[in-house]
Amino acid sequence: MPEITYRDAVQKAIADEMRLDDSIVFFGEDVAKAGGVFKVTPGIYEEFGAERVRDTPISEQAIIGTALGAAITGLRPIAELMFADFIPVAMDQIVNQVAKYRFMSGGQFTVPLTIRAAQGGGGGFGTQHSQCAESWLMNFPGLKVVAPATPLDMYSLLRAAIRDDNPVVVLEHKYLYTLKGEVPADASPGSIGEAKVVREGADLTVVALQLMLHRALEVADKLADEGINLEVIDLRAVAPLDSETILRSVMKTNRLLMVEESPRQGGWGASVASMIADRGIYHLDAPIKRVNMENSLIAYSPVLEDEIIPNAGKIEKAVRDLLAED
């Protein structure tokens, strides 16, 4: 089974879908001949040409506005915003137009639009280029929000997003672009909104996504040597949110920890905690716990950045604290 990088999975998904559907167009800042600022989409311009792959001005509002117009008039656009941090520049277009257009037209129009953006810290990009956007976007009905953690999920969920007749935001973690993983030659589009139990366990449920998933798995491997068995769930998408998979796991382990690369206030972990409080509180043997960035900004300094973003040590401490609860 071939191994490819997370970065290559993005390129492969876009190219495979563009070969199948001539209505797909792709545009954004420096995505054509340059292949993207993170070199995620090399070769797309050369294969599909200037009619279907275009560079845009440095204007997130123009990119999303153009993408919406293209989507409702018969095309299936993929729009890249270079950094997820700049999504707020186009927030009116995304949450008041893109997310609501099908509803406000009474179903007369569909919006088959995929918005891609690179997010996340760990690379020393500073506080304006290192944020995670999934918790911002999950608050707006009409948007699907995907955050893959592996090359296979990146490939299959991006293909699913491109095929969806509703707008989907696909968030790619910059720190994971070099991560390698197996992607079968016959891998098919995935299903948006399904979490995945990536490690079975009976002692405690850990829910995470993207970089935090890998750090949680690191802790799970370490603690397994002590006989502590964590069940680790890759959330994969925050909208729709797969409550059922999390609830089933909590019913088995009776303890819940969320690991989020985001500030504490308004994080997706708060939504999960609320859901479990509503539907699963009598299955809990300990309080729900969250590991996140508290209310800190992400520092440019590597030492401070490492301190702010949840690491294996913080996750392990939270696990041990929860297991010590009666």
Answer positive or negative: Cα dihedral of 138, 158, 262, 205. positive
Instruction: Considering the candidates 129, 173, 214, 283, report the single residue annotated as catalytic.
Output: 129
The 3-state DSSP composition of the chain as helix, strand, coil percent (nearest 5) reads: 40, 20, 40
User: Nearest 5°: CA angle at 95, between 279 and 173?
Assistant: 75
Indicate if 214 belongs to the active site.
no
Nearest CA-CA partner of 223 in 201, 245, 248, 193: 201
Beta carbons of 140 and 101 less than 8 angstroms apart: no
Q: Give the sheet arrangement for strand 230-234, strand by strand.
A: 196-199, 230-234, 204-208, 256-259, 289-291
Beta carbons of 159 and 16 less than 8 angstroms apart: yes
DSSP 253-264: HS-EEEE-SS-S
Please give the Cα distance from 114 to 273 (Å, whole number): 29
Residues designated catalytic: 129
